[in-house]
Amino acid sequence: PTPDPVAGAAVKAADRAHVFHSWSAQGLIDPLAVAGADGAYFWDYDGNRYLDFSCQLVNTNIGHQHPKVVAAIQEQAGKLCTIAPGFAVDVRSEAARLIAERTPGDLDKIFFTNGGAEAVENAVRMARLHTGRPKVLSAYRSYHGATSTAINLTGDPRRWPSDSASAGVVHFWAPFLYRSPFHAENEAQECERALRHLEDTIAFEGPQTIAAIVLETIPGTAGIMVPPPGYLPGVREICDRYGIVFVLDEVMAGFGRTGRWFAAEHFDVVPDLLTFAKGVNSGYVPLGGVAISAEIAATFDQRPYPGGLTYSGHPLACASAVATINTMAEEGIVENAAAIGENVIGPGLREIAERHPSVGEVRGTGVFWALDLVKNKETREPLVPYNASGPANQPMADFAAACKRGGLWPFVNMNRTHVVPPCTVTETEAKEGLAVLDEALSAADAHTG
Protein backbone atom coordinates (compact mmCIF):
# COMPACT_ATOMS: atom_id res chain seq x y z
CA PRO A 1 0.00 0.00 0.00
CA THR A 2 1.21 3.53 -0.85
CA PRO A 3 1.57 5.70 2.25
CA ASP A 4 -0.72 8.72 2.41
CA PRO A 5 -0.14 10.53 5.74
CA VAL A 6 -2.40 13.44 4.74
CA ALA A 7 -5.35 11.11 4.24
CA GLY A 8 -4.46 9.38 7.52
CA ALA A 9 -4.48 12.67 9.42
CA ALA A 10 -7.91 13.53 7.96
CA VAL A 11 -9.31 10.12 8.97
CA LYS A 12 -8.05 10.59 12.50
CA ALA A 13 -9.35 14.16 12.77
CA ALA A 14 -12.79 13.03 11.59
CA ASP A 15 -12.75 10.25 14.18
CA ARG A 16 -11.84 12.61 16.97
CA ALA A 17 -14.63 15.00 15.91
CA HIS A 18 -17.56 12.62 16.37
CA VAL A 19 -16.65 9.05 17.29
CA PHE A 20 -17.07 8.11 20.96
CA HIS A 21 -14.82 5.14 21.73
CA SER A 22 -15.38 2.05 23.90
CA TRP A 23 -13.71 1.71 27.33
CA SER A 24 -11.79 4.97 26.89
CA ALA A 25 -11.29 8.42 28.37
CA GLN A 26 -12.16 10.27 25.18
CA GLY A 27 -9.61 13.02 25.71
CA LEU A 28 -6.69 10.66 26.29
CA ILE A 29 -6.83 8.38 23.24
CA ASP A 30 -5.00 8.49 19.94
CA PRO A 31 -6.53 5.83 17.68
CA LEU A 32 -4.39 4.53 14.82
CA ALA A 33 -5.97 5.32 11.44
CA VAL A 34 -6.19 2.05 9.52
CA ALA A 35 -6.02 2.08 5.73
CA GLY A 36 -6.57 -1.61 4.97
CA ALA A 37 -6.08 -5.25 5.93
CA ASP A 38 -5.42 -8.60 4.32
CA GLY A 39 -4.96 -12.06 5.83
CA ALA A 40 -2.84 -11.80 8.97
CA TYR A 41 -1.88 -8.14 8.39
CA PHE A 42 -3.35 -4.63 8.54
CA TRP A 43 -1.68 -1.31 7.78
CA ASP A 44 -1.90 2.39 8.50
CA TYR A 45 -1.57 5.47 6.22
CA ASP A 46 2.09 6.03 7.11
CA GLY A 47 3.46 2.90 5.48
CA ASN A 48 3.49 0.75 8.64
CA ARG A 49 2.23 -2.81 8.28
CA TYR A 50 1.34 -4.86 11.35
CA LEU A 51 1.18 -8.61 11.78
CA ASP A 52 -2.12 -8.95 13.65
CA PHE A 53 -1.35 -11.15 16.67
CA SER A 54 -4.53 -9.86 18.34
CA CYS A 55 -7.03 -10.73 15.57
CA GLN A 56 -8.51 -7.32 16.44
CA LEU A 57 -10.57 -8.41 19.47
CA VAL A 58 -9.73 -12.07 18.93
CA ASN A 59 -12.36 -12.35 16.20
CA THR A 60 -10.75 -12.53 12.74
CA ASN A 61 -10.21 -16.29 12.93
CA ILE A 62 -10.23 -16.60 9.13
CA GLY A 63 -7.95 -13.55 8.70
CA HIS A 64 -8.81 -10.21 7.17
CA GLN A 65 -10.70 -9.94 3.86
CA HIS A 66 -10.95 -13.63 2.99
CA PRO A 67 -12.09 -13.44 -0.66
CA LYS A 68 -14.72 -16.19 -0.32
CA VAL A 69 -16.39 -14.47 2.63
CA VAL A 70 -16.24 -11.07 0.97
CA ALA A 71 -17.82 -12.54 -2.19
CA ALA A 72 -20.60 -14.21 -0.18
CA ILE A 73 -21.49 -10.90 1.48
CA GLN A 74 -21.48 -9.12 -1.88
CA GLU A 75 -23.66 -11.80 -3.43
CA GLN A 76 -26.14 -11.76 -0.55
CA ALA A 77 -26.28 -7.94 -0.68
CA GLY A 78 -27.42 -8.21 -4.28
CA LYS A 79 -30.10 -10.76 -3.37
CA LEU A 80 -31.61 -9.78 -0.03
CA CYS A 81 -29.94 -7.37 2.42
CA THR A 82 -32.42 -7.66 5.25
CA ILE A 83 -35.57 -9.45 6.31
CA ALA A 84 -37.27 -9.66 9.71
CA PRO A 85 -36.43 -12.58 12.02
CA GLY A 86 -39.96 -14.02 11.73
CA PHE A 87 -39.51 -15.14 8.13
CA ALA A 88 -37.82 -18.33 6.92
CA VAL A 89 -34.87 -17.47 4.72
CA ASP A 90 -32.31 -19.76 3.06
CA VAL A 91 -29.03 -18.31 4.43
CA ARG A 92 -30.31 -18.14 8.01
CA SER A 93 -31.45 -21.77 7.92
CA GLU A 94 -28.16 -22.86 6.38
CA ALA A 95 -26.06 -20.94 8.92
CA ALA A 96 -28.09 -22.54 11.74
CA ARG A 97 -27.63 -26.00 10.23
CA LEU A 98 -23.86 -25.58 9.81
CA ILE A 99 -23.50 -24.34 13.40
CA ALA A 100 -25.77 -27.03 14.90
CA GLU A 101 -23.82 -29.67 12.99
CA ARG A 102 -20.66 -28.57 14.81
CA THR A 103 -21.87 -27.78 18.33
CA PRO A 104 -21.50 -30.68 20.77
CA GLY A 105 -24.30 -33.09 21.76
CA ASP A 106 -27.90 -32.11 21.17
CA LEU A 107 -27.36 -28.35 20.93
CA ASP A 108 -29.33 -28.27 17.70
CA LYS A 109 -31.43 -25.09 17.81
CA ILE A 110 -29.79 -21.74 17.16
CA PHE A 111 -31.00 -18.33 18.40
CA PHE A 112 -29.12 -15.59 16.54
CA THR A 113 -27.96 -12.31 18.09
CA ASN A 114 -25.75 -9.44 16.92
CA GLY A 115 -22.78 -10.38 19.09
CA GLY A 116 -21.47 -12.10 22.19
CA ALA A 117 -23.00 -10.05 24.99
CA GLU A 118 -26.51 -10.46 23.60
CA ALA A 119 -25.87 -14.18 23.30
CA VAL A 120 -24.98 -14.32 27.00
CA GLU A 121 -28.02 -12.17 27.92
CA ASN A 122 -30.33 -14.55 26.08
CA ALA A 123 -28.68 -17.68 27.44
CA VAL A 124 -29.28 -16.39 30.98
CA ARG A 125 -32.87 -15.46 30.12
CA MET A 126 -33.47 -18.98 28.77
CA ALA A 127 -31.92 -20.56 31.87
CA ARG A 128 -34.01 -18.44 34.25
CA LEU A 129 -37.23 -19.21 32.40
CA HIS A 130 -36.38 -22.90 32.06
CA THR A 131 -35.64 -23.34 35.77
CA GLY A 132 -37.83 -20.63 37.28
CA ARG A 133 -34.82 -19.68 39.44
CA PRO A 134 -33.24 -16.21 39.76
CA LYS A 135 -29.47 -16.50 40.39
CA VAL A 136 -26.55 -17.07 38.06
CA LEU A 137 -23.03 -18.16 39.04
CA SER A 138 -19.94 -17.11 37.11
CA ALA A 139 -16.20 -17.02 37.63
CA TYR A 140 -13.77 -14.36 38.75
CA ARG A 141 -11.22 -13.90 35.95
CA SER A 142 -13.83 -13.92 33.17
CA TYR A 143 -15.31 -11.68 30.50
CA HIS A 144 -18.85 -12.13 29.18
CA GLY A 145 -19.70 -8.82 27.48
CA ALA A 146 -20.74 -5.26 28.21
CA THR A 147 -24.54 -5.34 28.38
CA SER A 148 -26.33 -5.39 31.73
CA THR A 149 -26.34 -9.06 32.73
CA ALA A 150 -23.18 -9.89 30.76
CA ILE A 151 -21.11 -7.20 32.49
CA ASN A 152 -22.41 -8.30 35.89
CA LEU A 153 -21.33 -11.86 35.07
CA THR A 154 -17.90 -10.59 34.06
CA GLY A 155 -15.16 -11.22 36.59
CA ASP A 156 -12.79 -8.37 35.78
CA PRO A 157 -12.64 -4.67 36.76
CA ARG A 158 -14.78 -3.62 33.82
CA ARG A 159 -17.74 -4.87 35.87
CA TRP A 160 -17.17 -2.46 38.75
CA PRO A 161 -18.65 0.75 37.29
CA SER A 162 -21.77 -1.07 36.04
CA ASP A 163 -22.25 -3.47 38.95
CA SER A 164 -25.84 -3.88 40.01
CA ALA A 165 -26.79 -5.60 43.23
CA SER A 166 -30.08 -6.67 41.66
CA ALA A 167 -28.40 -8.66 38.87
CA GLY A 168 -28.56 -11.91 40.84
CA VAL A 169 -24.98 -12.85 39.98
CA VAL A 170 -22.64 -14.67 42.37
CA HIS A 171 -18.95 -15.10 41.54
CA PHE A 172 -16.75 -18.05 42.40
CA TRP A 173 -13.15 -19.08 41.68
CA ALA A 174 -12.40 -21.36 38.76
CA PRO A 175 -9.15 -23.35 38.56
CA PHE A 176 -5.90 -21.55 37.66
CA LEU A 177 -2.93 -23.45 38.99
CA TYR A 178 -0.26 -20.81 38.27
CA ARG A 179 -2.07 -18.34 40.56
CA SER A 180 -4.08 -20.91 42.48
CA PRO A 181 -6.96 -19.46 44.53
CA PHE A 182 -6.84 -22.78 46.42
CA HIS A 183 -3.10 -22.85 47.18
CA ALA A 184 -2.94 -26.11 45.26
CA GLU A 185 0.33 -27.69 44.24
CA ASN A 186 -0.74 -29.69 41.23
CA GLU A 187 -3.52 -29.87 38.64
CA ALA A 188 -5.39 -32.74 40.28
CA GLN A 189 -5.48 -30.87 43.58
CA GLU A 190 -6.52 -27.62 41.87
CA CYS A 191 -9.34 -29.44 40.06
CA GLU A 192 -10.64 -31.20 43.15
CA ARG A 193 -10.52 -28.06 45.31
CA ALA A 194 -12.13 -25.90 42.63
CA LEU A 195 -15.04 -28.33 42.36
CA ARG A 196 -15.42 -28.49 46.13
CA HIS A 197 -15.40 -24.67 46.30
CA LEU A 198 -18.13 -24.54 43.64
CA GLU A 199 -20.25 -27.04 45.56
CA ASP A 200 -19.78 -25.04 48.76
CA THR A 201 -20.81 -21.85 46.97
CA ILE A 202 -23.93 -23.58 45.66
CA ALA A 203 -24.78 -24.95 49.11
CA PHE A 204 -24.51 -21.53 50.76
CA GLU A 205 -26.40 -19.72 47.95
CA GLY A 206 -29.15 -22.39 47.95
CA PRO A 207 -29.22 -24.72 44.94
CA GLN A 208 -32.93 -24.09 44.43
CA THR A 209 -32.16 -20.40 43.75
CA ILE A 210 -29.56 -21.01 41.02
CA ALA A 211 -30.64 -21.00 37.38
CA ALA A 212 -27.27 -21.32 35.70
CA ILE A 213 -23.52 -21.61 35.95
CA VAL A 214 -21.86 -19.60 33.17
CA LEU A 215 -18.23 -20.37 32.31
CA GLU A 216 -15.91 -19.65 29.43
CA THR A 217 -14.76 -23.12 28.33
CA ILE A 218 -11.22 -21.71 28.29
CA PRO A 219 -11.28 -18.21 29.81
CA GLY A 220 -9.97 -15.82 27.14
CA THR A 221 -9.41 -12.16 27.94
CA ALA A 222 -8.86 -13.05 31.60
CA GLY A 223 -5.75 -15.06 30.74
CA ILE A 224 -6.31 -18.21 28.64
CA MET A 225 -6.39 -20.60 31.60
CA VAL A 226 -6.90 -24.09 30.17
CA PRO A 227 -8.82 -25.91 32.93
CA PRO A 228 -7.62 -29.28 34.26
CA PRO A 229 -9.20 -32.17 32.29
CA GLY A 230 -11.69 -33.15 35.02
CA TYR A 231 -13.00 -29.69 35.85
CA LEU A 232 -15.71 -29.07 33.25
CA PRO A 233 -17.03 -32.67 33.42
CA GLY A 234 -17.15 -32.11 37.21
CA VAL A 235 -19.16 -28.90 36.76
CA ARG A 236 -21.47 -30.77 34.36
CA GLU A 237 -22.09 -33.40 37.04
CA ILE A 238 -22.79 -30.75 39.71
CA CYS A 239 -25.25 -28.97 37.38
CA ASP A 240 -27.06 -32.26 36.71
CA ARG A 241 -27.29 -33.03 40.41
CA TYR A 242 -28.87 -29.66 41.28
CA GLY A 243 -30.92 -29.05 38.13
CA ILE A 244 -28.74 -26.05 37.21
CA VAL A 245 -28.37 -25.05 33.55
CA PHE A 246 -24.75 -25.28 32.36
CA VAL A 247 -23.82 -22.44 29.99
CA LEU A 248 -20.49 -22.53 28.18
CA ASP A 249 -19.45 -19.19 26.71
CA GLU A 250 -17.48 -19.94 23.53
CA VAL A 251 -17.66 -16.43 22.12
CA MET A 252 -13.84 -16.26 22.09
CA ALA A 253 -12.83 -19.93 22.31
CA GLY A 254 -15.19 -21.18 19.59
CA PHE A 255 -14.82 -21.65 15.84
CA GLY A 256 -11.28 -22.92 15.56
CA ARG A 257 -9.49 -20.70 18.08
CA THR A 258 -8.38 -23.65 20.26
CA GLY A 259 -7.69 -25.98 17.33
CA ARG A 260 -11.19 -27.51 17.48
CA TRP A 261 -14.51 -26.14 16.26
CA PHE A 262 -15.49 -25.71 19.92
CA ALA A 263 -13.25 -25.82 22.98
CA ALA A 264 -15.79 -28.09 24.74
CA GLU A 265 -14.53 -30.90 22.50
CA HIS A 266 -11.18 -30.89 24.35
CA PHE A 267 -12.97 -31.83 27.56
CA ASP A 268 -15.66 -34.12 26.19
CA VAL A 269 -18.34 -32.00 27.83
CA VAL A 270 -21.77 -30.95 26.55
CA PRO A 271 -23.36 -27.84 28.08
CA ASP A 272 -27.10 -27.07 27.99
CA LEU A 273 -26.49 -23.76 26.25
CA LEU A 274 -23.47 -22.60 24.29
CA THR A 275 -22.88 -18.96 23.33
CA PHE A 276 -20.88 -18.01 20.25
CA ALA A 277 -19.98 -14.90 18.18
CA LYS A 278 -16.59 -13.61 16.88
CA GLY A 279 -15.15 -16.58 14.90
CA VAL A 280 -18.56 -17.73 13.61
CA ASN A 281 -18.02 -15.28 10.71
CA SER A 282 -14.83 -13.57 11.90
CA GLY A 283 -16.86 -10.45 12.60
CA TYR A 284 -17.18 -9.46 8.93
CA VAL A 285 -20.81 -8.62 9.80
CA PRO A 286 -21.94 -8.56 13.47
CA LEU A 287 -23.26 -11.97 14.52
CA GLY A 288 -23.56 -14.10 17.62
CA GLY A 289 -25.96 -16.61 19.05
CA VAL A 290 -26.97 -19.32 21.48
CA ALA A 291 -26.96 -23.02 20.64
CA ILE A 292 -29.79 -24.62 22.64
CA SER A 293 -30.24 -28.19 23.92
CA ALA A 294 -33.34 -30.18 22.98
CA GLU A 295 -34.62 -30.01 26.57
CA ILE A 296 -34.36 -26.24 26.90
CA ALA A 297 -35.69 -25.69 23.38
CA ALA A 298 -38.72 -27.80 24.35
CA THR A 299 -39.51 -25.34 27.18
CA PHE A 300 -40.45 -22.90 24.46
CA ASP A 301 -42.39 -25.29 22.22
CA GLN A 302 -45.80 -24.18 23.46
CA ARG A 303 -44.79 -21.11 25.44
CA PRO A 304 -43.43 -18.07 23.59
CA TYR A 305 -39.77 -17.22 24.06
CA PRO A 306 -39.85 -13.65 25.44
CA GLY A 307 -36.80 -12.28 23.64
CA GLY A 308 -35.89 -10.99 20.18
CA LEU A 309 -33.84 -8.56 18.11
CA THR A 310 -34.65 -6.69 14.91
CA TYR A 311 -31.52 -8.10 13.29
CA SER A 312 -31.65 -11.66 14.69
CA GLY A 313 -30.28 -13.88 11.91
CA HIS A 314 -29.48 -10.95 9.63
CA PRO A 315 -29.03 -12.24 6.05
CA LEU A 316 -25.67 -10.52 5.44
CA ALA A 317 -24.34 -11.87 8.75
CA CYS A 318 -25.69 -15.36 8.06
CA ALA A 319 -24.31 -15.41 4.50
CA SER A 320 -20.88 -14.52 5.88
CA ALA A 321 -21.21 -17.28 8.52
CA VAL A 322 -22.10 -19.87 5.87
CA ALA A 323 -19.11 -18.85 3.73
CA THR A 324 -16.79 -18.71 6.75
CA ILE A 325 -17.73 -22.13 8.09
CA ASN A 326 -17.64 -23.78 4.67
CA THR A 327 -14.28 -22.18 3.86
CA MET A 328 -12.81 -23.17 7.23
CA ALA A 329 -13.90 -26.76 6.56
CA GLU A 330 -12.70 -26.82 2.92
CA GLU A 331 -9.34 -25.23 3.65
CA GLY A 332 -8.58 -27.20 6.84
CA ILE A 333 -8.33 -23.96 8.84
CA VAL A 334 -9.24 -25.50 12.21
CA GLU A 335 -6.66 -28.23 11.65
CA ASN A 336 -4.12 -25.53 10.74
CA ALA A 337 -4.78 -23.75 14.05
CA ALA A 338 -4.20 -26.99 15.95
CA ALA A 339 -1.00 -27.85 14.06
CA ILE A 340 0.53 -24.35 14.25
CA GLY A 341 -0.20 -24.25 17.98
CA GLU A 342 1.33 -27.63 18.64
CA ASN A 343 4.33 -27.42 16.32
CA VAL A 344 5.23 -23.74 16.10
CA ILE A 345 3.62 -21.37 18.62
CA GLY A 346 3.67 -23.61 21.71
CA PRO A 347 7.31 -24.75 21.32
CA GLY A 348 8.35 -21.25 20.16
CA LEU A 349 6.84 -19.55 23.20
CA ARG A 350 8.32 -22.09 25.61
CA GLU A 351 11.75 -21.44 24.11
CA ILE A 352 11.22 -17.67 24.41
CA ALA A 353 10.18 -18.12 28.06
CA GLU A 354 13.52 -19.72 28.86
CA ARG A 355 15.41 -16.71 27.54
CA HIS A 356 13.34 -14.00 29.29
CA PRO A 357 13.18 -13.38 33.05
CA SER A 358 9.83 -11.60 32.52
CA VAL A 359 7.97 -14.65 31.20
CA GLY A 360 6.47 -16.50 34.16
CA GLU A 361 4.22 -18.95 32.37
CA VAL A 362 3.24 -20.00 28.85
CA ARG A 363 -0.20 -21.54 28.47
CA GLY A 364 -2.68 -22.24 25.71
CA THR A 365 -3.61 -24.39 22.74
CA GLY A 366 -4.30 -23.86 19.04
CA VAL A 367 -3.96 -20.14 18.26
CA PHE A 368 -4.98 -19.21 21.81
CA TRP A 369 -1.89 -18.54 23.98
CA ALA A 370 -0.94 -16.33 26.90
CA LEU A 371 2.38 -15.22 28.35
CA ASP A 372 2.01 -14.37 32.04
CA LEU A 373 4.60 -11.65 32.59
CA VAL A 374 6.22 -11.34 36.01
CA LYS A 375 8.67 -9.20 37.96
CA ASN A 376 10.21 -12.35 39.34
CA LYS A 377 9.84 -15.95 38.22
CA GLU A 378 10.19 -17.30 41.75
CA THR A 379 7.61 -15.11 43.48
CA ARG A 380 5.41 -14.89 40.35
CA GLU A 381 4.67 -11.26 41.22
CA PRO A 382 2.84 -9.85 38.16
CA LEU A 383 4.88 -7.43 36.02
CA VAL A 384 2.22 -4.79 36.77
CA PRO A 385 -0.33 -4.75 39.63
CA TYR A 386 -3.91 -5.93 39.00
CA ASN A 387 -5.87 -3.25 37.08
CA ALA A 388 -2.84 -0.95 36.85
CA SER A 389 -3.05 2.26 34.84
CA GLY A 390 -0.82 5.25 34.14
CA PRO A 391 2.79 5.02 35.38
CA ALA A 392 2.11 1.75 37.24
CA ASN A 393 1.35 0.16 33.85
CA GLN A 394 4.53 1.48 32.18
CA PRO A 395 6.25 -1.93 31.86
CA MET A 396 3.35 -3.29 29.79
CA ALA A 397 3.11 -0.06 27.80
CA ASP A 398 6.84 -0.29 27.00
CA PHE A 399 6.42 -3.89 25.89
CA ALA A 400 3.42 -3.08 23.65
CA ALA A 401 5.26 -0.14 22.08
CA ALA A 402 8.26 -2.36 21.33
CA CYS A 403 5.97 -4.89 19.58
CA LYS A 404 4.44 -2.17 17.43
CA ARG A 405 7.85 -0.75 16.51
CA GLY A 406 8.73 -4.26 15.32
CA GLY A 407 5.60 -4.48 13.14
CA LEU A 408 3.56 -6.71 15.44
CA TRP A 409 0.14 -5.75 16.82
CA PRO A 410 -0.07 -7.42 20.26
CA PHE A 411 -3.00 -8.28 22.50
CA VAL A 412 -2.20 -6.94 25.95
CA ASN A 413 -4.33 -7.29 29.09
CA MET A 414 -3.00 -6.40 32.55
CA ASN A 415 0.30 -8.31 33.04
CA ARG A 416 -0.26 -10.60 30.07
CA THR A 417 0.25 -10.66 26.36
CA HIS A 418 -1.84 -13.10 24.37
CA VAL A 419 -0.69 -14.69 21.15
CA VAL A 420 -3.94 -14.94 19.21
CA PRO A 421 -3.20 -14.79 15.46
CA PRO A 422 -5.75 -15.95 12.88
CA CYS A 423 -6.42 -19.69 12.54
CA THR A 424 -5.08 -19.27 8.99
CA VAL A 425 -1.65 -18.08 10.19
CA THR A 426 1.22 -19.74 8.31
CA GLU A 427 4.36 -21.14 9.88
CA THR A 428 6.38 -18.27 8.37
CA GLU A 429 4.03 -15.62 9.76
CA ALA A 430 3.92 -17.28 13.19
CA LYS A 431 7.72 -17.38 13.31
CA GLU A 432 7.94 -13.76 12.16
CA GLY A 433 5.62 -12.74 15.00
CA LEU A 434 7.46 -14.82 17.59
CA ALA A 435 10.75 -13.20 16.59
CA VAL A 436 9.30 -9.70 17.18
CA LEU A 437 7.81 -10.83 20.48
CA ASP A 438 11.16 -12.26 21.52
CA GLU A 439 12.86 -8.93 20.93
CA ALA A 440 10.07 -6.84 22.46
CA LEU A 441 10.17 -8.87 25.68
CA SER A 442 13.52 -7.24 26.46
CA ALA A 443 11.45 -4.14 27.26
CA ALA A 444 9.55 -6.22 29.86
CA ASP A 445 12.76 -7.83 31.15
CA ALA A 446 14.05 -4.35 31.96
CA HIS A 447 11.40 -4.12 34.70
CA THR A 448 12.25 -7.46 36.38
CA GLY A 449 14.52 -8.01 39.30
Within the chain, what is the greatest distance between any pair of CA atoms?
64
Q: Considering beta carbons, is residue 50 or 411 the nearer one to ligand PLP? A: 411
- Give min distance, CB of 431 to ligand PLP, in A: 27
Q: How far is the CB of 147 from ligand PLP (least distance, A)?
A: 7
* Environment class of 60 (CB within 10 Å of its CB; exposed 0-12, middle 13-18, buried 19+): buried
Give residue 247's identity as a one-letter amino acid code.
V
Is the Cβ of residue 103 or residue 358 nearer to ligand PLP in the bound state?
103
In 3D, which of 403, 415, 441, 395 has the Cα closest to residue 156?
415
Give me the least distance between CB of 115 and ligand PLP, in Å please. 3
Q: Collect all residues with Cβ–Cβ distance below 8 Å to 267 and sequence separation of at least 6.
A: 217, 227, 229, 231, 232, 233
Q: Which is nearer to ligand PLP, 217 or 448 (CB)?
A: 217
Name which of 192 and 249 has its Cβ closer to ligand PLP. Answer: 249
Cβ at position 290, least distance to ligand PLP in Å? 12
Q: Which is nearer to ligand PLP, 11 or 292 (CB)?
A: 292
- C-alpha to C-alpha distances, 153 to 11, 149, 165, 291, 296, nearest whole angstrom: 36, 6, 12, 19, 21
What is residue 87's DSSP assignment?
S
Specify whether the CB–CB gap between 242 and 216 falls below 8 A: no
Nearer to ligand PLP, 119 or 384 (CB): 119
Q: To the nearest whole angstrom, how small is the minimum distance from the Cβ of residue 148 to ligand PLP?
A: 12
- Write down the least CB distance from residue 217 to ligand PLP, Å: 9
**Residue at 62: amino acid letter:** I
What is the DSSP track for 152-221?
Answer: HH--SGGGGGG--GGG-EEEEPPP-GGG-TT--SSHHHHHHHHHHHHHHHHHHH-GGGEEEEEEESS-TT
Q: Which residues on adjacent β-strands are paired with residue 412? A: 417
Beta strands (DSSP E) in 206-333 are: 210-216, 245-249, 273-276, 288-292
Minimum Å distance from CB 288 to ligand PLP?
A: 6
CB 337 within 8 A of CB 366: yes
CB-closest chain residue to ligand PLP: 116
Closer by beta carbon to ligand PLP, 120 or else 274: 120
**Footprint on this chain of ligand PLP (rule: CB under 6 A):** 57, 115-117, 120, 143-145, 216, 220-221, 249, 251-252, 277, 288
What is the rounded distance in angstroms from the CA atom of residue 275 to the CA atom of residue 116? 7
Angstrom distance (rounded) from CA 443 to CA 299: 55
Minimum Å gap between C-beta 366 and ligand PLP is 15
Nearer to ligand PLP, 117 or 444 (CB): 117
